């Protein structure tokens, strides 16, 4: 590196020495970050530190090596673009990428500048999304349900007497009357609907219905007889 990035008023040699020391410090600190990130996402996310002052041997550190690269390998096209263009974005986030073996990846590249505004390094994260794609497909298959012309009516929660009373009152209110004001056909429709919805499995369901509708137990059971035997 030259001394062009040194602070105004300092000699070229001193400025150059200061910048070189700063660059070395930034690389050392960035290496800590790369190590920590890699160990946080073992086997899933490759984390690479690029030394942009040495593009021919840019890879300085690599954690969770998923791309097959090694320390001392050259910079990628993105790294070279950063070196050549001071106005290159500091952060490129979540862009699609691909490992050499074809696995899809999601990548993020973070440029690190020194006090002179020059790119010194880049931390790159390459997340292997192939595993997540498989998991996503598996979850989609797991939650998929079969479509039928007449899906069965089923409620998995246990019914209660309170819910039974509410269902009866709602049925009557929809017809502009009270439960005791329902005619025989409406009562039969109600009782059969309650059976289909599981309300007759509630403890004391029949006594509750006789009280609400003002009919006998025999009448309630009569409403439940097969259609051919209807005598409401």
Q: What's the pLDDT tens digit per position in 196-212?
A: 988 888 888 999 999 99
According to DSSP, residue 198 is labeled: T
Q: What's the pLDDT tens digit per position in 68-127?
A: 999 999 999 999 999 999 899 999 999 999 999 999 999 999 999 999 999 999 999 999
What are the tokens at 130?
């192939």
145-163 in b/e form (b: 16+ CB < 10 A) is eeeeeeeeeeeeeebeeeb
**CA 123 to mean position of chain CA atoms:** 25
Type and span of the H or E element at 21: helix 12-40
Would you place residue 140 in the very low, low, confident or very high pLDDT band (cuts 50, 70, 90)? confident
Radius of gyration of the chain (CA): 37
Hey, what's the torsion of the CAs at 210, 212, 215, 219, to 10 degrees?
-60
Whole-number percent of the chain with pLDDT over 90: 67
CATH number of 11-130: 3.30.450.20
For tokens 């986030």, what's the residue? 93
**Can you name the residues that pair with 119 across neighbouring β-strands?**
113
What are the tokens at 162?
């309170």
| 9 phi/psi in degrees, rounded to 5 | 90, -5
Would you place residue 153 in the very low, low, confident or very high pLDDT band (cuts 50, 70, 90)? low
pLDDT of residue 197: 87
Out of 44-53, 150-159, 221-230, give the one with best mean pLDDT. 44-53
Q: What is the C-alpha separation between 230 and 232, in angstroms, rounded?
A: 6
For tokens 């997540």, what's the residue? 132
């Amino acid at each position: 590196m030259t001394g062009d990035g040194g602070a105004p008023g300092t000699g070229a040699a001193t400025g150059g020495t200061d910048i070189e020391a700063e660059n070395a410090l930034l690389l050392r600190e960035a290496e800590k970050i790369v190590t920590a990130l890699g160990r946080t996402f073992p086997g899933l996310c490759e984390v690479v530190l690029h030394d942009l002052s040495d593009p021919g041997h840019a890879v300085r550190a690599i954690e969770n090596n998923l791309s097959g690269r090694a320390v001392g390998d050259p910079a990628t096209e993105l790294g070279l673009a950063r070196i050549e263009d001071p106005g290159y974005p500091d952060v490129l986030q979540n862009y699609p990428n691909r490992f050499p073996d074809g696995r899809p990846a999601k990548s993020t590249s973070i440029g690190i500048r020194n006090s002179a505004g020059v790119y010194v390094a880049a931390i790159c994260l390459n997340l292997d999304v192939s595993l997540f794609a498989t998991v996503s497909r598996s979850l989609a298959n797991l939650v998929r349900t079969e479509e039928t012309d007449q899906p069965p009516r089923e409620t998995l929660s246990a019914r209660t007497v309170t819910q039974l009373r509410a269902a009866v009152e709602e049925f009557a209110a929809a017809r502009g009357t009270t439960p005791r004001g329902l005619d025989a056909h409406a009562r039969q429709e109600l009782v059969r609907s309650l059976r289909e919805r599981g309300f007759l499995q509630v403890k004391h369901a029949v006594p509750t219905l006789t009280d609400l509708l003002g009919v006998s137990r025999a009448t309630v059971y009569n409403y439940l007889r097969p259609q051919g035997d209807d005598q409401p």
